[in-house]
Amino acid sequence: MTIQWFPGHMTKARRQIQEKLKLIDVVIELVDARLPLSSRNPMIDEILQGKPRLIVLNKSDLADPAVTRQWIDFFKQEGHLAIQVDAYTGQGIKEIPLLAKELMKEKIERQLAKGINPRAVRALIVGIPNVGKSTLINRLAGRNIAATGDRPGVTKAQQWIKVGTEMELLDTPGILWPKFEDQNVGYRLALTGAIREEILNVEDIAFFGVKYLVKYYWEPFRERFDLKDQPTDFENPDEIVAVMEAIGRKRGCIVSGGRVDLEKASGILLRELRAGKLGRYTLEAPY
């Protein structure tokens, strides 16, 4: 799904989330474990107005596990609770209601001390398009609730979904926009398929991806495309283009004169990358 985020849409999305904040106790901020910063909204702290928050790194099945652990430590050092899940299979999601309750611990203790029986913790899932909000809502609910492709501006009656006895979740997520101003963020989002590649140049996206991935995840590249030598100077564009040409030759993207069709090779590479054929990878590290 691609949403064209114009300033008016952003204001509307922000207002919709802030309306929902009045109804809930905790926010579940969903990010993509392969790009935990680039898949965040640039104004998230301001928008959430200090609501207790759990950061959930989704699609951890596709990300580099060692780097995911670093990201979780990073968010914890920033004072947030953070976990990794795979909303597609449901791996790790049982922790979510427990941690949501943990975020409300002090309030719950105060209520118990006053003899009040605390109600279930009310939560809202927020995140940019494609991070898996609908998938997670459906998993937590144990049935199909949210229509994938939910759009900002479409309002309907809010419903609460019971998640065990401890948590209630709003059935529609809060949709936020990514940080467009930084072109590298755009490349990372495009590499994972979170934004449509037509917005950016396909060769530029592939170049960006090859440059990063052959540096940190050389082995699956070497194996899949029969590559010989890992580039030595990753800042040298010629070395990166040479890898792209080798991939193109391997996939038969040859035009007249024996030249490699880089555009075609880039398209094939992106498809294979998104289909998980090049293994698990993370496109940015915290340290």
According to the annotation, is 132 in a ligand binding site? yes
Here's the x/- map for ligand G4P, 81-110, by CB under 6 A: it reads as -----xxx----------------------
CB of 219 to ligand G4P, least distance (A): 21
**Tokens in use for 102?**
């943990």
Distance CA 161, CA 43 (A): 27
Residue 131 within binding range of ligand G4P, rule CB under 6 A: yes
Asked if residue 87 lies in contact with residue 96, where contact means CB atoms within 8 angstroms, the answer is no
Rounded to 10°, the helix 237-250/218-225 angle is: 40
Closer CB to ligand G4P, 135 or 266, in the complex? 135
CB of 233 to ligand G4P, least distance (A): 34
Helices (DSSP H) in 56-132: which residue ranges?
A: 65-77, 95-103, 105-113
Residue 270 within binding range of ligand G4P, rule CB under 6 A: no
CA distances from 276 to 62, 113, 202, 264 (A): 7, 51, 18, 19
Asked if residue 33 lies in contact with residue 59, where contact means CB atoms within 8 angstroms, the answer is yes
Write out the binding residues for ligand G4P, residues 57-86 only, by CB under 6 A. 58-59, 61-62, 86
Q: Which listed residue (2, 148, 159, 183) binds ligand G4P by CB under 6 A?
A: 148
Residue 261 within binding range of ligand G4P, rule CB under 6 A: no
Closer CB to ligand G4P, 152 or 231, in the complex? 152
Distance CA 216, CA 194 (A): 21
Closer CB to ligand G4P, 125 or 244, in the complex? 125
According to the annotation, is 256 in a ligand binding site? no
Helices (DSSP H) in 104-168: which residue ranges?
A: 105-113, 133-141
Span near ligand G4P by CB under 6 A; candidates 107-115, 128-136, 225-233, 262-270: 128-136
Nearest one of 24, 50, 58 to 167, comparing CA atoms:
24
Span near ligand G4P by CB under 6 A; candidates 53-61, 113-121, 157-165, 184-192: 53-61
Task: Give the helix, strand, coil percentages of the chain, each rounded to 5.
Answer: 45, 15, 45
Nearest one of 36, 173, 161, 164 to 98, comparing CA atoms:
164
Residue 178 within binding range of ligand G4P, rule CB under 6 A: no
Q: Which listed residue (41, 68, 134, 282) binds ligand G4P by CB under 6 A?
A: 134
Span near ligand G4P by CB under 6 A; candidates 12-20, 49-57, 133-141, 211-219: 133-141
Residue 135 within binding range of ligand G4P, rule CB under 6 A: yes
Residues that bind ligand G4P (CB under 6 A): 1, 58-59, 61-62, 86-88, 127, 129-135, 148
